[in-house]
């Protein structure tokens, strides 16, 4: 059976921690239930900040009675083999440099999102 493939597109970071936390929690839960699922996270707009070392630690929110820290969620992603693709067009706008990227992040053009979709990745949209 061919593995399930999903792509999450995140366009927020500090301005909408709810979106970031909920999406990353969904990613981690999906991988916990099915480790064979291939999951990519494509960061655009303000979302590119999530790939900058240290930014995630500054984003927290109470969820289900617990403080959730984006940095902790991001640190789990390499264990789950979740890859982050960072749209390089937005990086200069948010002072993100290649040297600043977290371990599992890779710079890509926006066209790569199209490649993922054509390769069978199912988009996981969620507006909050």
13-32 average pLDDT score: 92
Position 112 pLDDT exceeds 70 = yes
pLDDT for 59: 93
Three-class DSSP category at 101: strand
Number of domains in the chain: 1
Position 104 in a domain: no
**pLDDT digit string (tens) for 3-17?**
799 999 999 999 999
pLDDT for 124: 84
Strands (DSSP E) found in the chain? 5-10, 38-43, 60-63, 66-69, 83-87, 105-108, 122-124
Confidence (pTM) = 0.92
**pLDDT digit string (tens) for 66-81?**
899 999 999 999 999 9
Position 105 in a domain: no
Position 53 in a domain: yes
Position 50 in a domain: yes
**pLDDT digit string (tens) for 44-73?**
999 999 999 999 999 998 888 889 999 999
pLDDT band, residue 126 (cuts 50/70/90): low
In which domain, by residue range, is 41 found? 1-6+16-91
Position 31 in a domain: yes
Within a 10 A sphere around the Cβ of 65, how many other Cβ atoms? 5
Position 67 in a domain: yes
């Amino acid at each position: 059976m061919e593995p399930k493939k999903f792509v999450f597109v995140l366009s927020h970071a500090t301005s909408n921690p709810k979106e970031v936390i909920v999406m990353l929690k969904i990613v981690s839960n999906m991988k916990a239930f099915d480790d064979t699922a291939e999951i990519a996270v494509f960061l655009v707009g303000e979302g590119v900040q999530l790939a900058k070392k240290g930014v995630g630690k500054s984003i927290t929110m109470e969820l289900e009675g617990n403080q959730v820290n984006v940095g902790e969620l991001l640190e789990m992603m390499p264990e789950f083999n979740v890859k982050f693709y960072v749209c390089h067009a937005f990086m200069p706008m948010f002072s993100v440099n290649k040297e600043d990227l977290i371990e599992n992040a890779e710079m890509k053009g926006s066209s790569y999102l199209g490649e993922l979709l054509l390769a069978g990745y199912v988009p996981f949209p969620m507006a909050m």
